[in-house]
Amino acid sequence: MYVHKNLRLSVVWRMSRNGLLVFFIYDTLICLLYSRLNFHFLDIPWQPVATLGTAVAFYIGFKSNGSYDRFWEGRRLWGSIVNVSRTWAIRAFDYVQPTPNEMQPEPSEVRDLHRRLLYRQIGWCNALRLHLRRQTAEGWETEVAPFLLDPAESEAAKRMSNPPTHLLRHQSEELRQLHQRGLLTEYRHVALMETIQDMFDAQGGCERIKNTPFPRQYAFFSFVFVWIFAAILPLGLVEEFDHREALGEYHVWLMVPFAVLVSWVFNIIELVGHASENPFDNQINDVPMTAICRSIEIDLRELLGETELPPKVEPVKDTLY
């Protein structure tokens, strides 16, 4: 996610350089053919061009709104993951306790139980991030395995097609065993299982966005309409500028920068919408899942009383990943 207050010129240039070059060459060619070679049949009335421009503006605006909704839903889902992780930690501390009628375990054993439950939650967050970014194979050993205290559990989860689901299954199994040992009352067991359900809801929402691409008919025709409009725009403007007498015969060349500018504006709106379609691809405008996972890790490990904590993720070239 880009976090600088304003887009740097280098970022704007990377986004728009290809389109600007094409628009400039094409518009210059139209102006050259019209003014120097007298191909006056190229000009068309301005009114249909303006009407088409209005229609294209509405269409790409609709696409941009839909794309932003996908990004914002993804960010809200990861916000809910932050909240449910904290809820899981607090409930694990307060609910996983021996009842008065049961044999009292050692305090160190209870602390180990809390640590295992919270570490597995951190592992689940990182596993979900890697799963959404399709990076499980290369990132598991450094991002997930250190939080799964059982190596066999880590290897088993890594081989699954959906590792985050497998980790939540282990959380559920652990709760069942704690309930059988008397370290969880029935009510507390149900409450913790509801928290796992909240995790599944957030994971399912993220997977829905990841696995359901933005409707291609909207994305494709938005691109097509913008370039059709850019193609006919200079044909409508060239005669309008040719009628102006302020600069004589050279006034028509002002059509080129104005046509390039208008085409660039439409193209940028379309590109911004395109960049927001898939918020989990680890791109410059995506949900900063790495930073969110690190924030969850710091919160939960602080609750465990740990002091040697990793630093927060800092932006790289104004982008938080």
What is the tens place of the pLDDT at every residue in 82-135?
999 999 999 999 888 876 655 566 777 888 899 999 999 999 999 999 999 998
**More confident of the two residues 43 and 169:** 169
- CA 274 to CA 93: how far, in whole Å? 44
Q: Tell me how far the alpha carbon of residue 165 is from its chain's centroid.
A: 21
Tokens coding 120: 């597995």
Percent of the chain with pLDDT over 70: 93
| CA dihedral sign of residues 225, 16, 271, 217 | positive
The per-residue pLDDT for 183 is 84
The per-residue pLDDT for 15 is 80
**More confident of the two residues 34 and 147:** 147
> Which letter, b or e, does each residue of 51-71 get, where b requires 16 or more Cβ atoms within 10 Å of its Cβ?
ebbeebbebbeebbebbeebb
Instruction: Say which range, 61-70, 105-114, 164-173, 288-297, has the weakest mean pLDDT.
Output: 105-114
Q: Residue 316's beta-bridge partner residues?
A: 319
- CA 278 to CA 245: how far, in whole Å? 49
Residue 83 burial (CB count, 10 A): 13
Q: Residue 319's beta-bridge partner residues?
A: 2, 316
Average pLDDT along the chain: 86
CA distances from 213 to 88, 210, 278 (A): 31, 7, 7
Q: What is the mean predicted confidence (pLDDT) over 150-178?
A: 91
Orientation angle between helical segments 163-181 and 151-158, nearest 10 degrees: 140
Backbone angles phi, psi at 98, to 5 degrees: -70, 140
Backbone angles phi, psi at 215, to 5 degrees: -50, 120
Tokens coding 2: 């880009």
Tokens coding 34: 């019209």
- CA 31 to CA 242: how far, in whole Å? 10
The per-residue pLDDT for 103 is 59
Percent of the chain with pLDDT over 90: 35
Q: Reply yes or no on whether the pLDDT at 243 is more than 60.
A: yes
Of these ranges, 12-26, 128-142, 194-208, the one predicted with the greatest mean pLDDT is: 194-208
The per-residue pLDDT for 168 is 94
Tokens coding 62: 């609709």
